[in-house]
Amino acid sequence: MLRRLDRYVRSTPGASTSSVANQFVDEALRAEEHPGITFRSGPTGRRAALVGGPDVWEVIDTLLTLREDDPSLAEDALVTETARTTALVGWRVRVAVRYYAAFPAEIDDRIAAHREKADEAEAAWLAERALLRGDQAS
């Protein structure tokens, strides 16, 4: 186990054995408290996800967007519509909602970061299209 931990630390820039051990213990406790939640690494760091499913932030972003689009949706209807939109079953949406209720800042920060990146990508795409059409920049 110590060799695997050391290998992981060496492959993770800026990590220490202590910080990685703390992170993994925290994640294990969170997963224990929230059955159906796991953690995975990616280009934007480690994040909470549904076991065998999407990241929690993706489910919650969908749920919040649906709520913004139709604030009159009742709780069960919101969960049902989120499940339909994300191709999940309702109980899995509720797993994500329970995790979000416990760690809202973590998920809100990830949603904000992804929305910002999407806005930047759209602006770059629009500028590229304008250039290819021959539109002059003002």
Give the model confidence (pLDDT) of 64-78 as tens digits: 999 999 999 999 999
Q: How far apart are CA 4 and CA 52, in angstroms?
A: 24
Q: What range does the domain containing 89 cover? A: 53-133
The proportion of the chain whose per-residue pLDDT surpasses 90, expressed as a percent, equals 70
Bridge partners, residue 50, by sequence:
37
Q: Is there a domain that residue 47 lies in?
A: no
pLDDT at 53: 96
| Counted domains in the chain | 1
The identity of residue 5, as a single letter, is: L
Q: Is there a domain that residue 23 lies in?
A: no
Q: How far apart are CA 50 and CA 15, in angstroms?
A: 25
Q: Is there a domain that residue 30 lies in?
A: no
Q: How far apart are CA 56 and CA 110, in angstroms?
A: 10
Q: Is there a domain that residue 19 lies in?
A: no
Which range has the top average pLDDT, 35-44, 79-88, 117-126? 79-88
Higher local confidence (pLDDT), 8 or 89: 89
Q: How far apart are CA 96 and CA 34, in angstroms?
A: 9
Q: Is there a domain that residue 42 lies in?
A: no
